[in-house]
Chain A
Amino acid sequence: MEQVLKGVPAAPGMAMGRARIHRHAGKRPAESRVADPQEQLSALPAAAEKTTAQLREIMSRLASRTNQEEAGIFKTQLLVLDDPLFMGSVRALILDDCCTAEDAVDRTVLALAEKFKALDDPRLRERATDVRDVGQRLIRNLAGAPDSSQPDAGILFAANLVPSEVSLLEPTQVAAIATEEGSATGHAAILARALNICAVMGLKDVLARVCEGDSVLVDGTSGEIVLDPGDSTIERYRLRHRRQGEALERLAAQRELPAITLDGFHVELAANIAGPQGIPAALAAGAESVGVVGTEFLFLGRDTMPSEEEQFEVYSEIVSGMAPRRVIIRTLDLGADEELPWCQFAHERNPALGLRGVRLCLRQGELFCTQLRAIARAACFGNVAIMLLMISDISEVRRTKEILDRIAAPEVPLGIMVETPAAAIMAGDLAAEVEFFSIGTNDLVQYVLAVDRLDPHLADLYQPFHPAVLRLIRTVCEAAHQHGKWVGVCGEMAADSLAVALFLGLGVDELSMDPRFIPTIKSAIRQTRRSEAVALTEELLALNNAPRIVSRLEQWSLQL
């Protein structure tokens, strides 16, 4: 029976495939004692053989697409499968503890992963991942579960995905993501867009309605998924998707044109990227610079802190890849749902108001110095700037400047993301201390309105066009310009074509967004006259409620 479910559009695109239900790695197979250990033992060879065959297929597929090195990763996994240490431990656990073969493999993998974690060499420590990978594959084969690395692209269903999990997904293996939790502004969604994997989030109770292997259609542009879609439905969605693609292509044709208004006011259009893999998309979209590089991907999903060398390599790759365009690197921030295993934090009652951004950086002195040094070194490869997050006090900027002086990197421009009401209100004083502002609207909106942006029950109260937000943004823009500093916007609002006239009216100098929105925003800028936008903004800022502001902006954009 065809069934349409509506969620939040988190990453655009359309995909068809079989449902694959993702279970979190923390969940271990049930520990149950078996009566006949010999039966468990006898299941091992066939499962191992099947695992070997699957690994060989992966290797030959990889070898034809990439160089031999990637395929080599799986060669190690093949050896693990034959390893006396590995198989010896599995057999011993089955015989001595009478546990199931699945449980024995799981416990062996956990014990080995612990041992790898204790090694000094970070590259060797990462091999725990290979042991885990091959172990999980063996467990799936013991359980007779379908191989998750089947070449036909699957639709990944999960209650929730953390950013590090999304960052590991391969667009070739996962055609789309569908989750019960999450929102369009969460880090998981941002990463999905960067990886070109379409995603629908906030699908309430979807796991109760979908089964492994079900046929599913995902429309990440509209935020709909269709379970068991009929032929006519598939055709309808395909047509819609093709039309959208054609519209995007028309916009892409504007790539070489400057982002200037009809009366010649230029706005710098920048890209938000989540790593070096985002550079091609940024350049293809015609980004004039990189407004935000999130650096979380370097820190998540690993057991140790990334070294200065490791960070330097990634930063210099991005900076040289974008040169001579400016690249603004944001120092480490962690969302409420993320943890670093090598860094212990107390449980936070309210993570959104907790140890985030610069607060985390200043308390983890070594981590912060290492990151700043790596960024400063990357400066010789092009044009780089540093941006601090969650500034709520001027002392946080001054302390960072002291650190930059100490590590002899005072020449790297320092800016802040303005996202706390405190920073916005103190913008005049802060503008005297830094080179630029970037208004992080996602957090600014949630902090100004005291509305949790991840809470689906409060979605109607999360109003980016609330007059309190807009008036505060005006304060920030005026303060920056009075001090001769530039001001940008880098939240989701920067990519909202409805907000373009408003930002033009306020004199915002830069808009930084997911690169795929750049053509749309550029088109809106090129159709607008700045003098008219200024007059409209005056009018909007006098209004006292969001619905009226939004309807006035809609009315305005219709006449373009």
Chain B
Amino acid sequence: MVTATLTILNSSGFHARPAGLFVETASRFRSVIKVVSGKQTADGKSVLSLMLLGATPGTGITIEAQGEDEVEALNTLAKLIAGRFGEEP
């Protein structure tokens, strides 16, 4: 399993559009993806569970990936978050 800890930087947090983008990206990989925020863990392939994390801008999250393509999955997803989901800085 590989993990990365990042901070949510985009203006709306894990809102509908960013959460949707995250799920679409995560679903391209075979690995199991989890997103941990505080005491809660969300399924990285479930838009509902990601939104229910209630992660607002500035929240620290940890992405966990486990499976055959875990390294590539983690890198791609980390880039998505660091790149503010394509939002203008």
Decide if A83 touches B16 in the complex (CB within 8 Å).
Answer: no
Chain A residues contacting B19 (CB-CB under 8 Å) are 76
B15 within 8 A of A: yes
The minimal Cβ–Cβ distance linking A364 to chain B, given in whole angstroms, is 26
Distance in angstroms between the alpha carbons of A225 and B68 in the assembled complex: 65
Q: Which residues of A contact B43 (CB under 8 A)?
A: 84-85
Contacts of A127 in B (CB 8 A): 16, 51
Chain B minimum-CB-distance residue to A75: B20
List of B residues within 8 angstroms of A123 by Cβ: 12, 15
Contact between chains at B15 and A112 (CB < 8 Å):
no
Query: Which residues on the A side are within 8 Å of B74 (C-beta)?
Result: none
Of B13, B24, B47, B56, which is within 8 A of A83 by CB? B47
Residue of B nearest to A73 (CB): B16
Evaluate contact between A120 and B48: CB separation under 8 angstroms. no
The answer to whether B82 has its CB under 8 Å from any CB of chain A is no
Given contacts A83-B46, A85-B43, A85-B46, contact A115 B52 (CB under 8 A): yes
The reply to whether the CB of B17 lies closer than 8 angstroms to some CB of chain A is yes
CB A84 to nearest CB in B, in angstroms, measures: 5
User: Known contacts A79-B20, A79-B23, A121-B13; is A84 also within 8 Å of B46 by CB?
Assistant: yes
Interface string of A109-133 (1 = CB under 8 A from B): 0001001100111011001001100
Which residue of chain B has the shortest Cβ distance to A126 in the bound complex? B16
Alpha-carbon distance A115/B54, docked complex (angstroms)? 10
Q: Is A130's CB under 8 angstroms from B54's CB?
A: no
Q: How far is the CA of A112 from the CA of B46 in the complex (A)?
A: 13
Whether B54 contacts A80 by the Cβ 8 Å rule is: no
Q: B45: shortest Cβ distance to chain A, in Å? A: 6
Contact A76 B47 (CB under 8 A): yes
Task: Give chain A residues whose Cβ lies under 8 Å from the Cβ of B14.
Answer: 124
A contact residues around B7 at 8 Å (CB):
none
* Chain A residues in 8 Å Cβ range of B16: 72-73, 76, 127, 130
Interface mask (B39-75 → A, CB under 8 Å = 1, otherwise 0): 0000101111101101010000000000000000000
B: interface residue count bin: 20 to 34
Contact with A along B1-28 (1 / 0, CB 8 A): 0000000000011111101100110000
- A80 contacts B47, CB within 8 Å? yes
Interface residue from B13, B15, B52 paired with A116 (Cβ < 8 Å): B52
Q: Which residues of B contact A124 (CB under 8 A)?
A: 13-15, 51, 54
Distance in Å: Cβ of A120 to nearest Cβ of chain B: 6
Q: How far in angstroms is the closest Cβ of chain B from A81?
A: 10
From B45, B47, B49, B56, A121 is in contact (CB under 8 Å) with: B56
Closest-CB distance, B28 to chain A (whole angstroms): 14
A112-B13 contact given A84-B43, A119-B54, CB 8 Å threshold: no
State whether A84 touches B45 (Cβ < 8 A): yes
How far is the CB of A481 from the nearest CB of chain B, in Å? 53
Determine which of A72, A119, A130 lies in contact with B52 in the assembled complex, contact meaning CB atoms within 8 Å.
A119
A130: chain B residues at CB < 8 Å are: 16
A517: interface (CB < 8 Å): no
Q: Which of chain A's residues has its CB closest to B56's CB?
A: A121
Is A85 touching B20 in the complex (CB atoms < 8 A)? no
A368 within 8 A of B: no
Instruction: Give chain B residues whose Cβ lies under 8 Å from the Cβ of A120.
Output: 54, 56
Asked if A86 CB lies within 8 Å of chain B CBs, one says: yes
Would you give the shortest CB distance from B74 to chain A, in whole angstroms?
A: 20
Give the complex CA separation of A240 and B49 in angstroms: 55
Name A115's closest neighbour in chain B (CB-CB): B52
Contact with B along A81-124 (1 / 0, CB 8 A): 00111100000000000000000000000001001100111011
List B contacts of A85 (CB < 8 A).
43, 46, 48-49
User: Please, which residues of chain B bring their CB within 8 A of the CB of A119?
Assistant: 52, 54
Q: Tell me which of A83, A86, A124, A127 has the highest count of chain B C-beta atoms within 10 A of its own C-beta.
A: A124
The CA-CA distance from A449 to B14 in the complex, in Å, is 56
> What is the distance, in angstroms, from B26's C-beta to the closest C-beta of chain A?
11
The residues of A that contact B45 with a CB separation of less than 8 Å are 84
* Cβ-defined contact, B54 with A83, below 8 A: no
Contacts A/B (CB < 8 Å), 27 sampled: A72-B16, A72-B17, A73-B16, A75-B17, A76-B17, A76-B19, A79-B23, A79-B24, A79-B47, A83-B46, A83-B48, A83-B49, A84-B43, A84-B45, A84-B46, A85-B43, A85-B46, A85-B49, A86-B46, A86-B48, A115-B52, A119-B54, A121-B13, A124-B13, A124-B14, A124-B51, A127-B51
Q: Which residue numbers of A lie inside 8 Å of B, CB to CB? A: 72-73, 75-76, 79-80, 83-86, 112, 115-116, 119-121, 123-124, 127, 130-131
Question: Which 8 pairs between the two chains have the least Cβ-Cβ distance?
Answer: A79-B47, A119-B54, A76-B16, A85-B46, A85-B48, A83-B48, A85-B49, A83-B46
Starting from the known contacts A127-B16, A130-B16, 18 additional A-B residue pairs (CB-CB under 8 Å) come to A72-B16, A72-B17, A73-B16, A75-B17, A76-B16, A76-B19, A79-B20, A79-B47, A84-B43, A84-B45, A84-B46, A85-B48, A112-B48, A116-B51, A121-B56, A123-B12, A123-B15, A124-B54
